[in-house]
Amino acid sequence: MTRSLRTDALLRTAIAVVPVAIVSILGGFATAPNIPGWYAGLTKPAGTPPNGVFGPVWTALYVMMIVSVWRLLGHPPETPGRRAAVMAFFVQLALNCLWSFAFFAARSPALGLVVILALIAALIATIRLAWNVDRIAAGLLVPYLAWVSYATYLNLGVFWLNA
């Protein structure tokens, strides 16, 4: 592998891994301090999993997100739809991070609901755009959409039951 190709591969990997890792870390900082007190005291809807489920699920989803955007970035920049799919990916990633701050750090299920609905819309757009570039990349985001849909039910339930 030439130095240029190696550099491109490292850059592509860094662009895929670093932002997702940052969102994961920031989300943890916003969430963790609020679990034992505030979140523990909330009434939760039926079907709320134990707290220990969230970490492994999010880890798997973040890995799939990394692979998805890594695959998109692997297509030549001039590939039709690539730029839009990558941009949409990073928009939904920002909303993913914002949700942790809205729901947990701000302790606002109402604000969390607004953000998570925007996240679902952005995620659907990302999957649709990615589908036109790389169907595997798009498919890797489907479990994430399913989990965020489930999280929306949980968020709505917390909002409704604690209003």
* Whole-structure pTM value: 0.94
Q: State residue 1's pLDDT score.
A: 53
- Where along the chain do its domains lie? 3-161
Q: State residue 7's pLDDT score.
A: 79
Rounded to whole angstroms, the Cα distance separating 131 from 115 reads: 24
Does the CA dihedral 55-146-89-123 come out positive or negative? negative
Secondary structure class of 45 (helix, strand, coil): coil
Question: What whole-number percentage of the chain has pLDDT above 70?
Answer: 98
Q: State residue 130's pLDDT score.
A: 98
Residue 137 has pLDDT above 60, yes or no: yes
Q: What is the mean pLDDT of residues 109-132?
A: 98
Q: Which residue from 96, 85, 157, 90 is spatially nearest to 127, judged by alpha carbons?
A: 85
Which CATH superfamily includes the segment(s) 3-161?
TspO/MBR protein (1.20.1260.100)
